[in-house]
Amino acid sequence: MVIRASAEDYLETILLLSKKTGAVRSIDIVGEMGFSRPSVSIAMKKLREAEMIRMDESGYITLTEKGMKTAGQVYERHSTLYDWLTRSGVSPKNAAADACRMEHILSEETFQMIRSLLETG
């Protein structure tokens, strides 16, 4: 299943917030991503419908197995690309922004080549 870059960003944010705070609510995502409450609410509804997240009666969000797999893949891509860019001399600020965009568009072949370069270099 192919999901949109924005959904991947939400999943990655939920993953990182859950690692940092242990519990995630929509308001936490609003604060982290800077989107409006209605935008986040719509996105969470779509992620629930796609069976990527669960939301309990108190509004706490958890990733499903499917959501965790996707979030982990996106985070791995982001981390690898960030490392590659910073090792190549790109400033951390620009590397973070560029990695966020690149993680969604690179082919698997190109990503594996970059990961291989990092492992051997």
**Within this chain, do residues 86 and 51 fall inside the same structural domain, yes or no?**
no
Sheet architecture: strand order including 53-55: 24-25, 60-63, 53-55
**Within this chain, do residues 58 and 91 fall inside the same structural domain, yes or no?**
no
**Within this chain, do residues 9 and 60 fall inside the same structural domain, yes or no?**
yes
Q: Judge contact between 44 and 61, C-beta under 8 A.
A: yes
pLDDT of residue 5: 86
Distances (CA, A) of 83 to 39, 52, 77, 100, 119: 31, 27, 10, 12, 11
Share of the chain above pLDDT 70, in %: 97
**Within this chain, do residues 52 and 14 fall inside the same structural domain, yes or no?**
yes
**Within this chain, do residues 31 and 59 fall inside the same structural domain, yes or no?**
yes
**Within this chain, do residues 88 and 46 fall inside the same structural domain, yes or no?**
no
Over the stretch 65-75, which tens digit does the pLDDT of each residue have? 999 999 999 99
Q: By residue range, what is the domain housing residue 50? A: 5-64
Q: Work out how many domains the chain is built from and give that number.
A: 2
pLDDT of residue 12: 96
User: Can you give the CATH number for the domain in which 29 is found?
Assistant: 1.10.10.10
Over the stretch 55-101, which tens digit does the pLDDT of each residue have? 999 999 999 999 999 999 999 999 999 999 999 999 999 999 999 99
Q: Is the model more confident about 120 or about 69?
A: 69
User: Can you give the CATH number for the domain in which 101 is found?
Assistant: 1.10.60
Q: Judge contact between 52 and 70, C-beta under 8 A.
A: yes
**Within this chain, do residues 81 and 55 fall inside the same structural domain, yes or no?**
no
Q: Mean of the pLDDT values across residues 36-54?
A: 96
* Whole-prediction pTM: 0.87
